A = this chain, B = another copy of it.
Amino acid sequence: MKPISYEVANAEVKAVFDDIKTTRKLDDVNNFWKYLANEPRMLAHVWNSVKDIMGPGSLDPLTKELIYVAISITNNCDYCMASHGFAARMKGASEEQLNELYAVVGLANMTNRLANAYRVPVDEAFRTES
């Protein structure tokens, strides 16, 4: 698979690239979008979803970026760890915060398996509240 650069992109892809650049105040889009441009329909869907959900909302943008990093670590996605780790730093994450995030990711992956191993039944208190 080859990346699609702005110069050779069709009008549909160019429109999405322009929106990404304007929204994120960037001179060029990241590799992720250039590769995804091989499937213009998904390029538009993914960008529209990301733009809508990762922007201001009920959760602050940094919190959402940290959640993104945590999932990317759990799924072992190199590109995603790099790109969202970068984005988290741009949105203000300190090295201390990232280190604490990694600790939480480690703990959650440990206790997820311990809960599985013991087949722990859900406490009544959790059921009635949720």
Total copies of this chain within the assembly: 6
**Are the C-beta atoms of B118 and A82 separated by less than 8 Å?**
no
Complex CA gap A62/B7 in Å reads 34
A25 to chain B, nearest CB (A): 14
Residues of chain B within 8 A of A71, CB atoms compared = 70-71, 74, 105, 108-109, 112
Interface size class of A (residues with CB under 8 A): 35 or more
A121 to chain B, nearest CB (A): 6
State the A residues within 8 Å of B (CB): 1, 30-32, 35-36, 38-39, 41-42, 45-46, 48-50, 52-54, 57-59, 63-64, 66-68, 70-86, 89, 94-123, 125-127, 129-130
